[in-house]
Structure 1
Amino acid sequence: MSMEQQNRTVCVTGAGGYVASWLVKLLLSHNYNVVGTVRDPENEKYAHLKKLGDEENQLKLVKADLLDYQSILAAVNGCHGVFHVASPVPSSSVPNPQVELVEPAVNGTLNVLRACSASNIKRVVVVSSVSAVMMNPNWPEDQVIDENCWSDADYCKTTNNWYSYSKTVAEIEALEYAKMNGLNVITLLPSLVLGPMLQQAANASSLVLINLMAEGYEEIENRPRPIVDVRDVAEALLLVYEKPEAEGRYICHSHHSSNGEMVDILRKHYPNYRYPKR
């Protein structure tokens, strides 16, 4: 591999996921060579990714597990940058959150960062979540929630918000590791990610909408919903990767909505479903 090719080669973890698939598509359109980690490169659920690659083998899918350090090390070796997108996103409650959410999020992220250090990766972009900033009951009510706010890990645990807990702890560990080891790490924190899908199976984000249509709720809490388009998230990931001055945390959010507003929009376009009352 020439030096120019190596400088245009990046790894995307969890390449078959909702956000990662759009990121892979965007990277390929910008003439990057992409190494995408997946659980099984031969699985048909990754067929949408294989259609994105071209005859010049811009896209290479490799088998890797976040909890298997050697497989991650092999995947990132020879890359210039890494986008760590892979992380469990539950579509419902999980029986064992420590094993199913926390360990893959925290230990998986640290495995990726250690592999990046060992491989002299120049820049790492880690996908976190606004869940890592919004769960803080002690944040002043008259102060805008921004990148200076962190979710309270203990509060997340006591309220059984294990996804927020996993993303908060994983991001804290990532930035601390970067500081201690001189690794260039940026974190991006998207709000609820919606938009078109490249893969066939519904993802956890899309199920938020689907459940409003199909679950038959009588009523729903009209809670606020901060939303961002999946394509905007992909663009933001590439932007912070390419901008030399980018550093630290970046919230990625564009729209304020609510459960009630989403029900109204869905009812307008798909009137034949039974929708909950607002």
Structure 2
Amino acid sequence: MNVEGKVVCVTGASGYIASWIVKLLLQRGYTVRATVRDPNDQKKTEHLLALDGAEERLSLFKANLLEEGSFEHAIDGCEAVFHTASPVLLTAEDPQAELIEPAVKGTLNVLKTCVKMSSVKRVILTSSMAAVIAHASPTGPNGVVDETMFSDPSFCEQRKQWYALSKTLAEDEACKFAKANEMDLIVMNPGLVIGPILQPTLNFSVAVVVELTKGKDPFMSKSYRFVDVRDVSLAHIKALETPSANGRYIIDGPVIATLKDIEKVLREFVPDLCIGDDKNNEDIDLDLVTYKVSVEKVKTLGIEFTPTETSLRDTVFSLQEKCLL
């Protein structure tokens, strides 16, 4: 596919998945306009400016999710927009201000700008598995989760799952808006993302691996389903490059890794590691991880999944390299 001269925008570009999307877009020859909250914050931008092709084809733009119209400058003239910007917090003192408003208002702010710009042909929204699996009727160990399932906002509220609520409401509003405005919107729903980090600081999902290397079981779930950041970002780009792509795409680890599997890989790096799985885990809903996930749809984009073992190894290598372990 000849992408020469194609201009695309990535919002929240300093984030974990977004940084990889920028890296792969530059590798493929796209011209990228990346939005960040503060282009002068070197900690947030240095790793982007150091990417191959950045000097020639990457420009940074200041934009704020809650500031109406602040994305116009970046999006004007772009053929596609990857909207990844959204806060990732599992606990919040003020969920409305810290999570829900930036996620929902920010998404609508970006989509409204996309509608204004006649150049924009397709928008790819980064949602989450949190917008798929948080509901009262668990699938059971043999149930299959697919793109037809949606999290239930009232269930999220009852359980105080504010992050899931923010992603669910943002995706729902985005889809309604896209339908009303005949917009070509594609939604990506990644699970717990690990793999090498480009940014200099720890993000939420990779911090889970740091906890595991310390012998902790951060979600107290005895098993984890990981998906590689390189697969997730490539899926976003394939969703742009595949004309027939449509709707939602679940991109989650097809395989469940037990604590023993994880420990086996991590022992290479931490020889005396022992992850305690004898904790009292009775109140944890194991259903959260043991369901099956259908990744057939995302495979139609040409995505092949990186083995969990490789992802874990590469995560730890990357953390060591950045002195974060």
Taking structure 2 as the reference length, the TM-score comes to 0.78
2:76 paired with 1:77: yes
2:25 paired with 1:27: yes
Deviations along 1:34-57, one digit per CA (max 9) or x if unpaired, are: 000001112111101001153763
The structural deviation recorded for 1:196 is: 0.3
2:238 paired with 1:249: no
2:119 paired with 1:123: no
Q: Secondary structure at the match of 2:207?
A: helix
The structural deviation recorded for 1:138 is: 2.1
2:184 paired with 1:184: yes
The structural deviation recorded for 1:94 is: 1.6
Q: Secondary structure at the match of 1:193?
A: strand
Tell whether the 8 Å contact from 2:36 to 2:63 is kept in structure 1 after alignment.
Answer: yes
Q: Secondary structure at the match of 2:69?
A: helix
Deviations along 1:202-227, one digit per CA (max 9) or x if unpaired, are: 1111111112334x759973344221
How do 1:1-278 residues align onto structure 2 when only pairs under 5 Å count?
Answer: 8-45=6-43, 46-52=45-51, 54=53, 57-90=56-89, 92-120=90-118, 121-138=120-137, 140-141=139-140, 143-214=143-214, 217=216, 221-254=220-253, 255-272=255-272, 275-278=275-278
Tell whether the 8 Å contact from 1:53 to 1:59 is kept in structure 2 after alignment.
Answer: no
Q: Secondary structure at the match of 1:201?
A: coil
Structure 2 unmatched runs, 5+: 279-325
Assess, with a 3 A threshold, how the Cα gap between structure 1 residues 149 and 218 changes in structure 2: closer, same or farther: closer
RMSD: 2.3
Tell whether the 8 Å contact from 1:219 to 1:277 is kept in structure 2 after alignment.
Answer: no
Q: Please give the alpha-carbon distance, in whole angstroms, between the structure 1 residues aligned to 2:246 and 2:54.
A: 35
The structural deviation recorded for 1:139 is: 5.1
Q: Which residue of 1 aligns with 2:314?
A: none
Deviations along 1:136-157, one digit per CA (max 9) or x if unpaired, are: 2225545411000101111111
Deviations along 1:187-241, one digit per CA (max 9) or x if unpaired, are: 0001100000111111111111112334x75997334422110000111001111
Tell whether the 8 Å contact from 2:14 to 2:199 is kept in structure 1 after alignment.
Answer: yes
Q: Please give the alpha-carbon distance, in whole angstroms, between the structure 2 residues aligned to 1:174 and 1:253.
A: 21
Assess, with a 3 A threshold, how the Cα gap between structure 1 residues 226 and 220 changes in structure 2: closer, same or farther: closer
Q: Please give the alpha-carbon distance, in whole angstroms, between the structure 2 residues aligned to 1:208 and 1:277.
A: 15
Deviations along 1:236-276, one digit per CA (max 9) or x if unpaired, are: 00111111111100001233224453344323421355643
Q: Please give the alpha-carbon distance, in whole angstroms, between the structure 2 residues aligned to 1:192 and 1:131.
A: 10
Q: Please give the alpha-carbon distance, in whole angstroms, between the structure 1 residues aligned to 2:258 and 2:106.
A: 33
Structure 1 unmatched runs, 5+: none
Tell whether the 8 Å contact from 2:3 to 2:29 is kept in structure 1 after alignment.
Answer: no
Deviations along 1:156-184, one digit per CA (max 9) or x if unpaired, are: 11111111111111111111110011111
Tell whether the 8 Å contact from 1:220 to 1:276 is kept in structure 2 after alignment.
Answer: no
For 1:250, the aligned partner's letter is Y
Q: Please give the alpha-carbon distance, in whole angstroms, between the structure 1 residues aligned to 2:80 and 2:37.
A: 21
For 2:53, the aligned partner's letter is D
Q: Secondary structure at the match of 1:66?
A: coil
For 1:73, the aligned partner's letter is E
Q: Please give the alpha-carbon distance, in whole angstroms, between the structure 1 residues aligned to 2:4 and 2:69.
A: 21
